[in-house]
Every structure is written in structure tokens, then in C-alpha cells.
Structure 1
Amino acid sequence: MNQGKTTSVNDQPANDQWLLDAGFVGETPQQRTLTNDYPLTQPSGVPSKPRVKALYSENGIVSDFGVEKRKVYQYKQTNGVMVFSDQQPSHQDFQVLLYECFACRVDSVIDWYKIPLFTSPFTTDVALAARQYQLDPALIRAVIHAESAFKMRALSKAGAKGLMQLMPGTAKDMGVDDPFNAQQNIRGGSRYLAQLLSQFDGDIDLACAAYNAGPTTVMQYSGIPPYPETQAYVMRVKILLKRYQKALSS
């Protein structure tokens, strides 16, 4: 397991294509080390959302600017050793791991009112899904941003895949054969989101909570579950929704 490897991040302009390819806001070069020593804090007495615990770094890398570098590459070396690294291998086949949905970190120091938006990628796919399922395109973009930060190959430790982080069962139910195909993933995720909105009478808060924690959990608590991760997720989706609505209407 490669948990001590460091990486430097080159300063780049913040634009849609670079954000898709490399990360988020430009940074001055810094050394970052994958580590398990960065703690997650949580209020006492508050239930935790059930999760799968990873034995490797589950907290990603946080820059001095508060930008969470959550892309970690998993690949097998020629000697058979499985490696988890923050640097993309040049020759081996690899998977990209995200350890939580992008907007679920309770202690995230990202400024969600200022983080760059993705207004250009997948324009046609988002528009088609929005029209087919009668959704606001800004809501689809907000959920994609919250789930994967627009990473097509995003794979969570729980098995959620692609832009809208579809679990295998959900993907199958929504008719998605390849969750890493952007068009299929957006269509399937939008269909599921539309079903949740219908189930919860158009309540965006409850639909987003159900998208994150499951509709049964929302019904169990008769509202947004008291999971800090889910509450943070709903709040951040709503921030992103308003920002995308403003950006797309200008």
C-alpha cells in the first residue's frame, strides 16, 4: 500500500476543461502526502451515516487553499502489489477512487459559494435529460457537482460510479448499462432524481437527501436524516443549485 507518496500540483488557470482534467482552483506548487492522520470531526450525540471503512487513506488531500484533491489512483504493480497513489500511473491500467461524494465531507473547508462551476461540460446530455424528465438543468448540474465534481470515471468505495455516482442496483433499475458512459449516467441519474422528486412531492431537500442516504431512510426519519454528511450534502446542493441557476440564466 503506497500511503507515503507525495505529489506536486502545478499552477493552472481555472477553466472548465482544466477542472475536468486536473482538479479545481489553481494552486502554487505544494508537496502533499496521502495520510490517515487528517481527522474527521463530528458533533457528539449525532448519529453517523453508515459507511464502508477503507483501510487506505479515506480523507484525500487538502491543500492550503482548502481544495480537496480527492482523486486517488488504484493499480496493481508488476510484482502483484496493489497501490493506492495520488499520481496517475503512466503504463498500468488503473481505477480512480473517490472516498466519499464530493459534497459530503462534514469538515470541508471549500467555499461552496465561490468554488468554480462547470457550466459547459455535457451540455447536450444535461439538456436532453432535463427535457425528458422535466428537471431544471441547474439541479442536474448541482447534483453532478456534489456527487463527483464532474469526474466521469469517479468510483466510490461503496461502488457508486460515474458522474452522478450510481450504485449498481440503481444503475440497473434506471436502464444504465455503462455507468461510466456520460450520456447513460446523466440520463439514469436524472431519471432517478425525477422519481425521488415525484415520491417526495417535489421537495428538493428531501429528494436530495434521498439521493444521498436512500428514500427509505428519509421516510424513516420523516425528513432529512440526522446524518451530518447528508445534511451537509443537501445544504451544498442547494447552494450549487442557486449558483447554477444564476450562471445558466446569464
Structure 2
Amino acid sequence: MRFRLHTLLLSFLLLPLPCLAEELPTSDSLRELAVRYEHGRGVQKDYEKAFQLYCLAADRGDREAYYALGWMYFNSRGVEQNPAIAAGWFKKAADAGDPAATRMVSLLAATDPQPDPHCTPLAARKRPGREEIEQWVRVRAPAYGLDPELVLSVIWAESNFNPRAHSVKDARGLMQLIPDTARRFGVTDSWDPAQNLHGGMAYLQWLMQRFDGDVPLVLAAYNAGENAVDAYQGIPPYPETRNYVKRISRHYPKLRHPVIDSPVVSMING
């Protein structure tokens, strides 16, 4: 595949649209923008961005995105032609009730379907392993303007990669979203690993904007809330929060993080 999936952190920018920072995009909005980039409708054609957007829509169970990804592999549309991966996507779309995909599955009946290693959704209410979670984050974090290593460090500190982690404060899942934060960022099921990660990354991206890329402040706010950081004009004097920041900083020692004004996800709902 010709995509440079792990080097997109500073380049994954899309349209300069206004955003609603505390909402996750819908599968329809992601797919519709993907179609624009795939076909060059109102924007410069860019198969790489189209693929990433279809992949994000696929995370939300969008059967049309499944079909579009299969079509890209079937026709070598920005990716190396791979009938087996195409068949895998067509089968997912067909299983979801897409009639066109059912015809493509029949056409590729002699081909053994294979999963897409570059876009593997995390199944809802399953317990993906650490390797699968890491791969998922490395592909998708750049769409939030985030360094995957920072996201992975937060997941490690919050849940040690346990999708069923549940704290005494009712923080849930991989990124330990409390119910209020989950609602703020459009997460309807914190036990769904993909939803949890999308919500946590959306919150991190929002904090990155608010604190101008100051990593220790972002981490402190993720742990104690942005209002506590504002009230103390820095890292709050809570032992838990200070230890949290120190712990993650040992894994992710960078003090500054690039702030991308218009990462993909924050712009879809404009």
C-alpha cells in the first residue's frame, strides 16, 4: 500500500470549515466528505484522505464505507489492487445488507476474503488485544491531530489497555471516560472500544487546542478537568494529578505538542 499511515500527524488537514469541537462526526458526514475527496468534488482529489475518512466511517459500522473501501482495493483506486481485501470489505457490506456488495461477493466467490491490515475496526463490546489497539490508534490518532505515542501513553496510564476497566469514579473503558465526558463528546457506549477511543481522542484534541499544545497541562486537565487547571493556573496540587502527569511524562517526555487548527475530525460537523 502506498499510504504513509504512520507519518500523517502534521499533514492530515482537510477543509477550513468551522467546527463543533465537542461533537464526534457521524458516519454519514465522514463518508460524504470521503466521497468528495475520492472524486474531487469541490476539493482536490486525494485518495489517501478518502481512505482515512472511509476508515473512520467504517469504525461506526457504515456499510457504504465498507463497500467504498472494497471498491478502492478492487479497482486499485489509490491503493494496490488486492482482491482478497476487497472481498473482505464487500463481505462486511453484504452482511450489513448492501445489495451491491452482495453482487460483488458473488463475483469474487473464488477469492478468500481477508481483513484489511490498514483499517481494522475494533468490534463493539469485544476485548481487543494491546497489539490491535496500538495498530488502531497509530492509524487514527493523526486524524485528531494527535501524536499516536501520546494517545497510547494515556491509554496505558488510564486502563493498561483493558477495554473493560472501570474505576470507583465510574470512569470506563480504554481511555476511562466518565459519563459526563462521554456525553460531551458524543459517546453513546463507553464500553465500545472504538467509541471510547474516538471520544477520548476528541477530548485530548480539544484540550490540546485549549492549552495551546502544553502537554503537562493537557494531561493534568485530562485527569482533573480543565476547570481545575484554569483555577490553579497550572497543574493542580492534587497528588493523584501530579503523579499522573509525572507517570505519563516518563513514557512521553515531550513538553510541547503541535496544535493543528483543523484536524479532520473536528471539522466534519461544521
TM-score (norm 2): 0.45
Larger CA Rg, structure 1 vs 2 = 2
The answer to which structure has the higher strand fraction is 1
TM-score (norm 1): 0.48
